[in-house]
Amino acid sequence: MNWNSHEFIWLDWIIIAVGLIAVIWAVWHSIQKHKREQQGADSADYLFGKGEPWYIIGAAIFAANIGSEHLVGLAGTGAKAGVGMAHWEMQGWMILILGWLFVPFYQLMNTKLGKIITMPDFLKNRYTHATGSWLSIITLIAYVLTKVSVTAFTGGIFMESLLGLPFWYGAIGLIILTGIFTVFGGMKGVMTLSAIQTPILIIGSFLVLFLGLSALGHGSIGEGWTAMIDYSRTLGVGKDGAAYGTNHLFHFNTGDPLYDDYPGFWVFIGASIIGLWYWATDQHIVQRVLGQTKGEANDVVMKRARRGTIAAGYFKLLPVFMFLIPGMIAAALSARPDSGFSLQNPDMAFGSMVKFVLPAGVKGIVTIGFISALVASLSAFFNSCATLFTEDFYKPMFKGKSEARYVLVGRIATVVVVILGIIWIPVMMSLGSLYDYLQGIQSLLAPAMVAVFVLGIFSKKITPKAGEIGMIGGFFIGMLRLLTNILTDTGKNVMTGQFWESTHWFWHTNWLIFEIWLLVFIMLMMVVVSLFTPKPTAQQVEFITFTGDYKSLIKKSWNKWDVIASLGVVLACAMFYLYFW
């Protein structure tokens, strides 16, 4: 048997089959045990799960973030553009903001309202009912544009590059498998699968990293790293013939071909805006920390949730090394004639590396982790869709229905979102490379969310109507920019005519700079509207501003080790920026 085969052999297929059966049994056993403990179905438990240990919360947050866009898009971006996209991944420090600042607000509202809240609930109580409803609508649209469509598309590419399955077989098969898992598993199934696949995914990806570096360095990992960095310095050749390199995070020279994608310090600010929305206010992530066992004290829940976010902060340091750098290794290997490695499509970089560097048997084990990661990530989106639609639209309109009815309606809503996501795939494919597309869409959705949440928390003077107008107005401006992106190929086409010339600044401005100015505009608009509209009530301000209850909860829920661990995340992020400056 050829243990160093660059393709899957019979042993790998046997391991995949047995491993998947074992994973299915483990998840089923965990769900059945959980049902016996709960003694009956409950929609809140199905959608949110009960309070899990902090390390499970951390793993679930990490697993919910890792999807096929990382296995395909992030590795592909590494192969094409080096470490520039790491701004969006090196955000462990941003998850700390969720745990230290936002979770106490969410937990106190859980207590005051007597239920586990959704993010739209949060805005309905601070602003208006319409503000929360629009957040639900925008979030569901975001899942269609950036989650389901991207995951299905990239899942098909990954299955094709790794297992040799035809693209649509892999994409549709992934959706069907995830749909079945979500229906029967609920949030408990997602949490259990996350705990299983996270260590496999991390170990497998680092095996790809180290064995890839070893192959590039003729048996030496250190020499492989040096060779990768040296090769990346020869890339990014501008019109002046100079090689600007792809081994650094900031691109300040306008002659650098990557300047338009990652312009100077704007890229850090723009990535942080998206990060704040995604990590601190997006239902898909926040849902992982909202689970609570009945009768638990607020400070116990808060402590567990914060420690979960700290653990997730450390986990979030890993994807750059798990996916982006292996993409850079793949590019360097393919440029070396004697390596025996070829790369026709950068988006197939990671799957090709798995087949090339991992020995027989290990390929099968690692593939189980990758498939589980894809299912867990997509299932988390499905579960969040069900939560938003059921809790924010169906339950308020149809009160008193059975728990089984609410669960069924959530599943139907998820199916609709999946169908729309698949329909959007052809449009998505026309808007540039995968990871650039994903961050570009998020840059149009994030400013409105960030403005409304941040001003709502930090200012007692922002009025309910201002929040509503900021949310709706910011969303429509973002969608108008998306429409112009489709018509102008993201500003690359030469557009003639009075309309296009007079609006040149709107559709042609760099996407990151546009995102930043859109956030500033929405905040200013909210401040102006607040001057002419009725003030928030005392109850609205009390819900989500820095009250005595909030400060008391913070004081009781942390110790010095929480602070030390959090500083460790920040220090690790800072060291990465210093190295790849």
Instruction: Take residue 378 and report the two structure tokens written for it.
Output: 């997509």
312 is a domain residue: yes
Q: Is residue 21 a part of any domain in this protein?
A: no
Q: Which of 118, 127, 115 is nearest to 540 (CA)?
A: 127
Contact 444, 141 (CB under 8 A): no
| Predicted pLDDT at 132 | 87
Q: Assess contact for 6 and 162: CB atoms under 8 A.
A: no
Q: What is the CA radius of gyration of the chain?
A: 24
The C-alpha angle with vertex 351 and arms to 348 and 352, in degrees rounded to 5, equals: 75
| Phi–psi pair at 251, nearest 5 degrees | -120, 105
What tokens were used for 242?
């100079």
**Could you tell me what percent of the chain has a pLDDT over 90?**
24
Q: Calculate the alpha carbon distances from 413 to 119, 382, 391 in Å.
A: 18, 9, 12
* Residue ranges in 430-537 assigned as alpha helix (H): 434-458, 464-488, 498-502, 504-508, 511-531
- Please give the mean pLDDT across all residues of the chain: 82
- On the question of pLDDT at 38 being above 60, the answer is no
Question: Which residue is listed with tokens 């947050």?
Answer: 61
Whether residue 121 lies inside any domain: the answer is: yes
Residue 60 is assigned to a structural domain of this protein: no
pLDDT category of residue 310 using cuts at 50, 70 and 90: very high
State the Cα–Cα distance between residues 142 and 240, nearest whole angstrom: 40
- CA–CA dist 246, 209 (Å, integer): 18
HEC string for 146-204: HHHHHHHHHHHHHHHHHHCCCHHHHHHHHHHHHHHHHHHHHHHHHHHHHHHHHHHHHHH
* Nearest by Cα to 286 from 42, 115, 118: 118
What's the confidence (pLDDT) of residue 332?
A: 93
Q: In the structure, what pLDDT confidence band is assigned to residue 501 with cuts at 50, 70 and 90?
A: confident
In whole angstroms, give the CA distance from residue 86 to residue 321.
10
- φ/ψ bin of 361: left (φ > 0), alpha (ψ from -120 to 50), beta (otherwise): left
Which span out of 162-171, 349-358, 489-498 was modeled with the highest average pLDDT?
Answer: 349-358
- Among the residue ranges 6-15, 30-39, 91-100, 549-558, the one predicted with the least confidence is 30-39
- Residue in the block written with tokens 């924010």: 392
Q: Is residue 523 a part of any domain in this protein?
A: yes
Residue 400: count of CB within 10 angstroms of its CB: 6
* Tokens 């979500």 belong to residue: 182
Residue 282 confidence class, pLDDT cut points 50, 70, 90: confident
When pLDDT is cut at 50, 70 and 90, the band that residue 202 belongs to is confident
| Spatial separation of the C-alpha atoms in residues 31 and 27, rounded to whole Å | 6
In a domain? residue 572? yes
Lowest mean pLDDT among 294-298, 376-380, 559-563: 294-298
Give a yes or no: residue 29 inside a domain.
no
DSSP code, position 534 = P
CATH of the domain at 373: 1.20.1730.10
For 86-119, write each residue's pLDDT tens digit. Answer: 998 998 999 999 988 888 877 777 666 666 667 8
Most confident of 12-16, 145-149, 410-414: 12-16
Give the residue-averaged pLDDT of 69-96.
87
Listed residue (265, 287, 336) closest to 110, CA to CA: 287
Using N-to-C axis directions, what is the helix angle for 362-389 and 149-163, rounded to 10°? Answer: 170
Q: Which of 3-17, 110-124, 285-299, 516-530 has the lowest mean pLDDT?
A: 285-299
Q: Which of 244, 287, 281 is nearest to 83 (CA)?
A: 244
* Residue scoring higher pLDDT (418 or 266): 266
Write phi, then psi, for 376 (nearest 5 degrees). Answer: -60, -45
Highest mean pLDDT among 29-43, 49-63, 444-458: 444-458
pLDDT band at 41 (very low <50, low <70, confident <90, very high): very low
HSE at residue 347, side-chain half, CA atoms within 13 A, is 19
pLDDT tens column, 395-412:
888 887 787 788 788 778
Confidence of residue 276 (pLDDT cuts 50, 70, 90): very high
Q: What does the pLDDT read at residue 170?
A: 82
Range of the domain at 382: 68-394+402-579
Alpha-carbon gap, residue 491 to 484, rounded angstroms: 8
Pairwise CA distance, residues 183 & 46, whole Å: 10
In angstroms, rounded to a whole number, what is the distance separating the alpha carbons of residues 351 and 362? 14
Per the DSSP assignment, residues forming a β-bridge with 251 are: 263
Confidence (pLDDT) at 46 = 47
Highest mean pLDDT: which range of 102-106, 511-515, 569-573:
569-573
Any domain includes 45: no
CA-nearest of 472, 470, 462 to 534 is 462
8 A C-beta contact, residue 385 and residue 140: yes
3-state secondary structure 497-527: CHHHHHCHHHHHCCHHHHHHHHHHHHHHHHH
Bigger pLDDT: 378 vs 248: 248
The CA-atom distances, in angstroms, between 466 and each of 136, 454, 546 are 18, 13, 20
- Max mean pLDDT range (6-10, 173-177, 514-518, 553-557): 514-518
In angstroms, the CA 417 to CA 141 distance is 8
Is the pLDDT score of 330 beyond 90? yes
506 class by beta-carbon count within 10 Å (0-12 exposed, 13-18 middle, 19+ buried)? middle
State the DSSP string of 130-146: HHHHHHHHHHHHHIIII
Domain count, the chain: 1
Within 8 A by CB and 6+ apart from 259, the residues are: 251, 252, 253
Q: What is the pLDDT of residue 47?
A: 47
- Helix 298-315 and helix 560-579, axial crossing angle in degrees, nearest 10: 20
The answer, yes or no, to whether residue 181 has pLDDT greater than 90, is no
The pLDDT-based confidence of 529 (bands split at 50, 70, 90) is: very high
